[in-house]
Amino acid sequence: MFSWRTTRLVAVAPMFLAVNACPPLPTPEFEATPFFVDEFSGSGRPDWPTWKLGDGFSWHDEWMTPRSENVRMADGRMVLEARAEEYHEGKHFTSGMAWSTESFLFGKFEARIKMSTGAGTWSSFWFNCVPECTPPWPAGGEIDVVEHVANPELDAGVGWAHSNLHFEHDASGELDNTTYNTDTRIDPAGGPAGWHTYGLEWVPGEIRFFVDGRRTATHRKSDEGPGGWWPFDTIPEELRFALLLGDWAGTVDASKMPQRMEVDWVRGYRYIGPR
């Protein structure tokens, strides 16, 4: 004989079981609110203490200066400008660079950027181990979120985004430079340079690259095999923006100067997943 209470429990029990069968929600890997952010809404040079500016050195055909002619904030953007000028002996061009005073280990980072398209320009957003890191670069690691090389001689030059990892590794102990390169078409051939958002998700044992929210590449520590070197789980790196000239980007066209790389904003989200 069933009472009302017994009948009610029988009816409810299947509903309870169905709710328990739902899979748990995935644990978020990153905080929802950025801990590192710059909208470049001011004027003059990018603010200290967030940024350091390139001053008095050269990697290729450019000479880096912290002058407002080469690096500044304007119209809500950070502008890195390359110019044809005899500013330093032996160099025919100047340009700008900014890198974070803070170094990072893991996180999600994004920046909205408009690349330079003048022949010989090389727009870059990357992470590099700090100068005093141990082991030093390249063994210490480099994460190239995006590089755009305006070299008309390259099949993947103007209108292509390159994402790379650079580090030295070899299970035998003999180090050699390793590059993982991914090419992504961002702008039509011959078309104007557009604004795009370039992203990095950097978690223990894995690095993911994104263009406009679409994942373009994933690289894992496990791909290196037993004993493979992977510096990205232990060595903090600085965030950098630079407009370089020459070398991989080819011959600089002085007649097209000045050229600009513009950064609308940059944001970093703290990693909160398992370690």
Instruction: Establish if 72 belongs to a structural domain.
Output: no
Instruction: Establish if 153 belongs to a structural domain.
Output: yes
Cα gap 111→222, rounded to integer Å: 28
Sign of torsion, CA 205 196 259 156?
positive
Instruction: Establish if 68 belongs to a structural domain.
Output: no
Q: Which domain holds residue 146?
A: 101-269
How many domains would you assign to the chain? Answer: 1
Instruction: Establish if 136 belongs to a structural domain.
Output: yes
Instruction: Establish if 165 belongs to a structural domain.
Output: yes
SS3 92: strand
Q: For all residues of the chain together, what is the average pLDDT?
A: 88
| Percent of all residues in the chain with a pLDDT value above 90, rounded to a whole number | 73
Domain CATH for 165:
2.60.120.200
Sign of torsion, CA 151 168 186 40?
negative
Residue 62 has pLDDT above 80, yes or no: yes
Cα gap 230→12, rounded to integer Å: 53
pLDDT in tens, 63-100: 999 999 999 999 999 999 999 999 999 999 999 999 99
Which residues, including other chains, have CB under 8 Å from residue 36's CB and lie 6 or more apart?
100, 102, 104, 107, 109, 239, 266, 267, 268
Cα gap 224→226, rounded to integer Å: 7
Instruction: Establish if 65 belongs to a structural domain.
Output: no
Quick one: tokens of 261? 């790389």
| Residues in a beta bridge with 128 | 142, 238
pLDDT in tens, 20-31: 556 666 778 999
Residue 225 has pLDDT above 80, yes or no: no
Q: What is the pLDDT of residue 234?
A: 95
Which residues, including other chains, have CB under 8 Å from residue 18's CB and lie 6 or more apart?
none
Q: Report residue 267's pLDDT band, with 50, 70 and 90 as the boundaries.
A: very high
Quick one: tokens of 23? 């899979």
Instruction: Establish if 118 belongs to a structural domain.
Output: yes
Instruction: Establish if 120 belongs to a structural domain.
Output: yes
